[in-house]
Amino acid sequence: MKPYILIIDDEPSICASLNLALKDDYNVVAFNSSQPALELLEKQTFSVVLLDLKIGAENGLNVLNKIKEIDPSVVVIMMTAYGSIGTSVEAMKNGAFNYLTKPLDIDELMVHVKQAVEFYKLNEQVSFLSEELRNKGYHEEIIGNSEPMQHIYMLIDKLKDIDTNVLITGESGTGKELVAKAIHESGNRRNERYIVVNCAAIPENLLELELFGCKKGAFTGAINDSKGKFELADKGTIFLDEIGDMPLSLQSKLLRVLQNKEFTPIGGSNVIRTDVRIIAATNRDLPQLIEEGHFREDLYYRIKVMEIKMPPLRERVSDIPDLCNYFINMLSKNLKKPLKGITEEAKEVLINYNYPGNVRQLANILEYAAIINSTGVIGVEDLLDEIVFPRNAKNKETTFERVIDEYLSTNSIKEIEKRAVKATLIKNEGRRDLTAKDLGISKRGLLNKINQYGLKNL
């Protein structure tokens, strides 16, 4: 089915010419005023809106805001004969995908419309995947459709409604806490409390108080009874993160809770019963800790009735594009920047990286890139040097040459030239005299290249 394009422009001739140019590839609907267009948008789904900045006496930016209120996912391209940097920036901040000036270059417009439709489809796919995970009871932050992740989803589905103790193992940053939360939120305990305790972050004397609570007068400063996490989480779930760092003195008390479903607060004499599901996680080698005498073997087998082994990111690289899309969309909202995506070159660099910090590290890499990016599309130039030039490479020049050679061998001369002109314009903040000098061409030659490659807005 052809994508639907909505045109809003007060000039009938513009609507007619755009309809003529687009109708072979798209279903086109055009209006000369905003009200009927907005009414139709509430009833029908469109992939792209071509919106004039000035519709009679009406400000197109106000219409843009109304469009985004009706359908935040629709991709809007602004058009205007009243071009200025100020309105361009404001339109992008308000959610416009791109900004074109009249008279429109039809070839350039067709390229931008195609990009907008692809962007809409990509967002639609990501939304469908997230919705599918939510429908299955999985937490929306778990991203990936690789074979290792499909196995994780299967285990979540099997474990969500039973009270079996679960041990989640894996390297730091692989998403162990997200899986624990998904088990709770998708299961029959989802309406009860989900409490997280980081065993490595709390000192030993405070960890016992945190878990089991205390009675008034149990120690200096205990002026009231205090409930511990096991009492507060009754009927719900406790997630014991970094359980491999739990002191031996507390491991025996935890074992009692696992065996008998009961505990005694510090300074108390009455036993408290608790119906709580325990999910534990660690990035440490528990069998090795048992051999060293730092972890109880009987506790290990109690918490490891079922084990979920989280795959490191390097073992599911096919998920990296989906993860990039997810994090870029999230960063665009959080940073209030109109991020449209990532270049294929940057994506390739990220796919080839080893990720000692796993998914968490990828998120941090993209956040850094999003902050320094000025084009709306994250490129290799936005990535940290340590990602583009990994430490395990023989030297930076070798890695750089490999990336450059791969790029040159997979792109046409025109594409390489376009990239060079675009990058130099951006570096010089649009100053054409400096750009022409850096490129070693005349100002007229530069103007021809700008027109040829549709770079007028830089």
pLDDT in tens, the chain (458 residues): 789 999 999 999 999 999 999 999 999 999 999 999 999 998 888 999 999 988 888 888 899 989 988 888 899 998 887 655 566 667 777 778 888 888 888 888 999 999 999 888 877 655 554 455 445 444 567 888 888 998 998 899 899 999 899 999 999 999 999 999 999 988 899 889 999 999 998 888 789 888 998 888 777 777 788 888 999 999 999 999 999 999 998 999 999 999 999 998 888 888 899 999 999 999 999 999 999 999 999 999 999 999 999 999 999 999 999 999 999 999 998 988 889 899 999 999 999 999 999 999 999 999 999 999 999 999 999 998 888 877 554 444 444 555 666 666 666 777 788 888 888 888 887 888 888 888 888 888 888 888 888 887 76
Judge whether 139 and 182 are in contact, CB under 8 Å: yes
> Coil, strand or helix: which one is 442?
coil
- The pairs formed by 206-212 with CB atoms below 8 angstroms and a separation of 24 or more are 207/246, 207/247, 207/250, 208/249, 208/250, 208/253, 208/266, 209/266, 211/250, 211/253, 211/254, 211/263, 212/253, 212/263, 212/264, 212/265, 212/266
The β-bridge relationship of strands 98-101 and 75-80 is parallel
Residues 6 or more apart whose CB falls under 8 angstroms from that of 139 comprise: 133, 178, 181, 182, 185, 186
Which pLDDT score, from 0 to 100, does residue 398 have?
Answer: 45
- pLDDT for res 124: 67
**Start-end ranges of CATH 1.10.8.60 in the chain?**
315-452
Residue-wise pLDDT tens digits, 217-242: 777 777 788 888 999 999 999 999 99
CA–CA distance from 6 to each of 128, 225, 323, 376 (Å)? 23, 64, 31, 24
Residues of each domain in the chain carrying CATH 3.40.50.300: 147-311
Tell me which residue has tokens 């041990």. Answer: 167
- Cα–Cα distance for residue pair 113/111, rounded to 1 Å: 6
- Position 364 scores a pLDDT of 94
| CATH 3.40.50.2300-classified regions of the chain | 4-132
Sign of torsion, CA 99 101 103 105?
A: negative
Tokens 């998708």 belong to which residue? Answer: 186
Q: What pLDDT shows up at residue 173? A: 92
- What's 315-452's CATH class? mainly alpha
What CATH number has the domain spanning 147-311?
3.40.50.300
Burial class of residue 25 in the structure, from the number of CB atoms within 10 Å of its CB (0-12 exposed, 13-18 middle, 19+ buried): middle
- Residues 127-179 have pLDDT tens digits of 554 455 445 444 567 888 888 998 998 899 899 999 899 999 999 999 999 99
**Axis-axis angle for helices 358-372, 320-334 (nearest 10):** 50
CATH number of 4-132: 3.40.50.2300
pLDDT reported for residue 126: 53
pLDDT of residue 395: 43
Q: Is 1 exposed, middle or buried (0-12, 13-18, 19+ CB in 10 A)?
A: exposed
Instruction: Provide the 10 A C-beta neighbour count for residue 14.
Output: 20
Give the chain's length.
458
